[in-house]
Amino acid sequence: MSSPDEPQRWTYLMDMDGVLVHEDHLIPGADAFVAELEANDIPFIVLTNNSIRTPRDLQARLERTGLKIPESAIWTSALATANFLGNQRPRGSAYVVGESGLTTALHDIGYVLTDSNPDYVVLGETRTYSFEAITTAIRLVEKGARFIATNPDATGPSRDGSLPATGSVAALITKATGREPYYVGKPNALMMRSALRAIGGHSESTLMIGDRMDTDVVSGLEAGLQTILVLTGISTTASVEHYPYRPTKVINSVADLVGRTQSPF
């Protein structure tokens, strides 16, 4: 904690898509914002509900847009899910519907990936959901496997429009089995707290920057963080009024924080 005579020392959590980038394009000013955080030695971590890619893959993706962010400063719903399962049931087993971001995270905590009597069915993001894999997941949940999903997002973006995402496929499995999954990613504040632990941050001196009221802002609030909504993604000034809670601050984009990262409020 800062003394009364010292300025507040902030730690930043921020969403990726809609805050720093749109698909494969840099949001103007995001590079200057990140550069200022690094120049001032301000701790930060980039969050994403997407579980498809590993942090290393995401680092390369961001670098192609012009953003140089360390692999250690990227926290995904796959990592949060692995962190959760590693604490709940160390060195357990799981049947995974997802891609390398999720399977790598589970391998790294010592999990065995199997379709033979697994402890968990873990559902994540993939661009190629297999009917056969979903059927296997349904049958394993029916047999008693615990049902975990990386995030509740119903759709994901693509160049051609929306794609079904984890939440939609989870609803299909729930409809077939009557079993609801436990969602680890945003808006579950668990993801915020696991990111804070990963970066050594504290809720009273951390702010969350996001573009969605229903995931970023609410999860930040529930984790006890200050919140900033940017208008470069999903939510608008009009849509803010539809929610029973408000962000601490609304700005046009992270470019508005350049020159103010040490005193954002």
Of 117, 119, 116, nearest to 106 by C-alpha is: 119
Spot the catalytic one: 5, 15, 24, 153: 15
Of 220, 189, 259, nearest to 249 by C-alpha is: 220
Ordered alpha helix ranges (H), the chain:
30-39, 55-65, 77-88, 100-108, 131-142, 166-177, 189-199, 218-222, 237-240
17 is catalytic: yes
What length is written for the chain?
A: 265
Spot the catalytic one: 5, 17, 57, 160: 17
Of 143, 163, 153, nearest to 123 by C-alpha is: 153
Residue with tokens 């379709």: 115
15 is catalytic: yes
Rounded Cα gap, residues 127 and 189, in angstroms: 26
What CA–CA distances, in Å, run from 6 to 3, 9, 56, 224, 250?
5, 8, 36, 22, 25
DSSP-assigned letter for residue 132: H
Using CA atoms of 217, 201, 189, 246 in order, give the dihedral in degrees to the nearest 10: -20
Rounded Cα gap, residues 36 and 47, in angstroms: 19
Determine the angle formed by the axes of helices 77-88 and 100-108, rounding to 10 degrees. 30
Q: Which residues are marked as active site?
A: 15, 17
